[in-house]
Structure 1
Amino acid sequence: MGCCGDGDCRPLGFLLGLPFAFVALLISIVGVIIWIVGLALTCICPCCLCVTIIVELALCLIKAPLHVMEWFTSKIPC
């Protein structure tokens, strides 16, 4: 039985993942900048496919801290 009753509470994984989530947060800030520039370029030239791919990559970078925390909490038991 997990600490929250349903097995989803993993404080040790959360605490160990915090430094990595901070690094991922810095990477996501870079992703936000790329996303803003990519959106501006998409408005200027909507036919450019490579800009769309870069914007999708930037969205993945923005979601990086969430993915890091989910990964850590899933790997380390309660």
Structure 2
Amino acid sequence: MEDCRPLGFLLGLPFALVALILSVVGAVVWIFGSLLSCLCPCCICCTALANVAVGHVKLPLKILRWFIYQIPC
């Protein structure tokens, strides 16, 4: 049980829930940006927007991991 840090998980949970909402928005933007970049390849900014949206989709896990590793045993 070396990596079990429930306090960090509990402290990070509200922030992860907010990030979950942002990740849903990011998923919608990613789908829209991917479709737009497939339809018009000259729109390079849509590809960059889709990459940023993928980062938002991964945000809840990043936040939980950060909180968990900030709390010592």
The TM-score by the shorter chain falls in which range?
over 0.9
Matched, 1:54 2:14: no
Percent identity for Structure 1 against Structure 2: 55
The residue number in structure 2 matching 1:43 is 38
What letter is aligned with 1:45?
C
What letter is aligned with 2:5?
R
Offset, 1:11: 0.5
Give the structure with higher Rg (CA): 1
1:14-72 residue CA offsets vs partner (Å, 9 max, x unmatched):
01100000000000000001001001101111232111100000000000000000100
RMSD of aligned Cα (Å): 0.8
TM-score (norm 2): 0.94
Moved over 4 A (4+): none
- Structure 2 segments unaligned to the other structure (5+ residues): none
Equivalences, count: 73
Matched, 1:68 2:55: no
What letter is aligned with 2:67?
F
- Structure 1 segments unaligned to the other structure (5+ residues): none
Q: Is the 8 A contact 1:12 1:77 kept in 2?
A: no
Larger fraction in helix: 2
The residue number in structure 1 matching 2:6 is 11
TM-score (norm 1): 0.89
